[in-house]
Amino acid sequence: MSLAADAQPPVRPTAAARITPPPPATSMTSPAASSAASPAASPVVPSTGPAASGPSTDPASGPSMGPASGVASGPVSGVPSEPTPEGAGSRLAWLDALRGVGAMAVVAEHLLPWFLPSLRPYWFSLGVYGIMVFFLVSGYIIPASLERHGDVRKFWIGRAFRLYPLYLAVTVLVVGMAWWVPVRGEVPRDGSAVAAHATMLLDVVGVGGVADTMWTLSYEMVFYLLVTALFVTRAHERSGLLAVLFAGGSVAVGLAVAGAVLTGGWVAYASAAAFAAGLGCVVSGRFRAAGACALGLMAVGLLVVSSRVPWMGVAVLGVMFAGTAIHRWESGRGGLWPVAASAALIAIAPVQAIESGWWWVAPDVWITTLGLAAATFAGAMALRGRRLPRVLTWLGLISYSLYLVHHPLLKFFYEVTGDLRRSPLALQLAMSAAALAVVLLVSAMAYRFVERPMQELGRHVARAR
């Protein structure tokens, strides 16, 4: 069910269309899906990702979402990070609760179309809602974390140990199980796939991730690179202006750019070489400012000229910097007008965009989804400092694992159960509960045995000089 599989913009799905199985070749891939996606041997679980390169053949398809944000010790935007140690009543527990809500929205976006299609909402997009919550959290906490610690070396070491171990483990899992469930057709069968996965700049260099939901990590990485450049040049206080500029840029880019201008494997190779050299400068301290600025400029350039859906990528940066502006307003260092202005611009970004047409970009659906994400963030912020349900903070704790492992696991589960969309409701409910239980169990184990030990190792390495 690729968001990018058809040349004609889809209409809002009708009641009948919502239960019609899509062609076996379709796969609701991430923004990285291409209009030339090749057929798979069997249907795969849809992935929600607003960056698909074209409209979907399946009216039920939606975008592939994912968390990647973290807290004080160096969270990842969009990628759920380590929760606050104090628990459900701690000062930052509301951020963990938001990650939990966002993660479960993304899981539901991928589970419902294939297990409980009758329950999938169409008046808003669960997947886009989930990732927008994650991006707001990332924007709110990442720059603040870097400013508080004031050490870009420790920041990047922490990020590397926070993101890469599980990311690599999931990559090995998916590739290792390719004999049973083939790797997505959007992943090139050459070295460019290795280069793009090494930098996590997948979607902005036109390469599909081995796990559909990996596309959001591309925008997290762009944000990290840009925030680092702003920090070392002491321009990081201008987040409100940046939010408005990126939000306005999403409108302009949508009107002017129909898709990636730069394409081909060389983009992944060149960006990987620049990434390694620039990050080496940032971490080592030699030519740090030059390296950080080069990486920041490269990241923004790739976002506009080589990402699969340029307007969406620019809008995501606007959302994240709006989150940063909210943090500055909360601390008395700025106003809320940039947040309101950027929200208005992002709301109209896809209306006349050349590359649009998906059901979740219809003005009523898009604006409703953005409004729900903003209301969720505002509501959680209003509850900060209060004790929140432990289940939400626990889901926030394991949200990065939940985000990365759930989609491959759902695909494996589908291979075992077969197509359930026309099965009795009782069977659909039972299999959905079983699939969710497996996803939660494996995610908890991944956090316990992969994420947490590697985060502790990262803190030890960061302290060593």
Shortest CA distance to 450 belongs to which of 163, 122, 195?
Answer: 163
Residue 34 has what pLDDT? 31
Look at residue 68 in the predicted model and tell me its pLDDT: 40
Task: Assess contact for 62 and 128: CB atoms under 8 A.
Answer: yes
370 Cβ contact partners less than 8 Å away, ≥ 6 residues apart: 132, 343, 346, 347
Question: Domain residues of the chain, as ranges?
Answer: 17-463
Residues written for the chain:
465
pTM: 0.84
What pLDDT does residue 13 have?
A: 52
The reported pLDDT for the residue numbered 201 is 97
The CA distance from 380 to 133, in Å, is 11
Annotate 418-454 with DSSP letters as a single string. ---TTS-HHHHHHHHHHHHHHHHHHHHHHIIIIIHHH
CA distances from 311 to 161, 273, 354, 383, 433 (A): 31, 26, 9, 33, 37
Specify the pLDDT at position 229: 96
Residue in the structure block whose two tokens are 């009216």: 59
For residue 294, count other CB atoms closer than 10 A to its CB. Answer: 19
User: Which two tokens mark 154?
Assistant: 């420790």
Q: What is the pLDDT along the chain (465 residues), one digit of tens a residue?
A: 333 333 233 344 543 344 333 333 333 333 333 333 333 333 344 444 433 333 333 333 333 444 444 433 333 334 444 444 445 556 689 999 999 999 999 999 999 999 999 999 999 999 999 999 999 999 999 998 888 888 999 999 999 999 999 999 999 999 999 999 999 999 999 999 999 999 999 999 999 999 999 999 999 999 999 999 999 998 888 889 999 999 999 999 999 988 899 999 999 999 999 999 999 999 999 999 999 999 999 999 999 999 999 999 999 999 999 999 999 999 898 899 999 999 999 999 998 787 777 899 999 999 999 999 999 999 999 998 888 999 999 999 999 999 999 999 999 999 999 999 999 999 999 999 999 999 999 999 999 999 999 999 999 998 886
pLDDT of residue 149: 80
What is the reported pLDDT for 145? 85
